[in-house]
């Protein structure tokens, strides 16, 4: 690693520990079984609900207005697939029955 790369890495690490990243850059990534989906035609919003296992006592949910992500969510729900979701919540909620991951930015479906 070059000296410049080491200095850049050191500055980055120092700034990220001193200055917290904004909520816009934060994310929550969860992998769930796609259990249910709800759509609002008027608001163009699709919401997915899912749990990490059949024994889970809580569920995660997130929404999107992106038609491509919405199509992926519908496909995952129709087959009850596992799906990894990245939402823009400041962090993954750790308590409560309903855990909101925010607006879904990335969705990856597993067969």
Each residue's pLDDT, cut to its tens digit, for the chain (111 residues) gives: 555 444 443 434 333 333 333 444 568 999 999 999 898 766 678 899 999 998 999 999 999 988 889 888 988 998 889 999 999 998 899 999 999 999 999 999 987
Exposure string over 8-31, b if 16+ CB within 10 A, otherwise e: eeeeeeeeeeeeeeeeeeebbebe
**Could you tell me the CA-to-CA distances from 92 to 27, 39, 54, 88, 103 in Å, in that order?**
8, 23, 20, 9, 12
Domain residue spans of the chain: 22-110
pTM of the model: 0.69
- CATH code for the structural domain at 22-110: 2.40.50.140
């Amino acid at each position: 690693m070059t000296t410049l790369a080491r200095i850049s890495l050191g500055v980055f690490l120092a700034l990220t520990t001193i200055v917290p990243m904004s909520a816009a850059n934060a994310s929550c990534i969860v992998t769930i079984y796609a259990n249910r989906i709800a759509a609002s035609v008027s608001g163009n919003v699709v919401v997915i609900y899912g749990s990490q296992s059949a024994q889970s006592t809580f569920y995660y949910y997130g929404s999107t207005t992106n038609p491509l992500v919405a199509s992926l969510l519908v496909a995952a729900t129709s087959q009850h697939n596992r799906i990894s979701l990245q939402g823009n919540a400041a962090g993954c909620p750790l308590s409560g029955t309903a855990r909101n991951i925010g607006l879904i930015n990335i969705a990856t479906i597993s067969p």
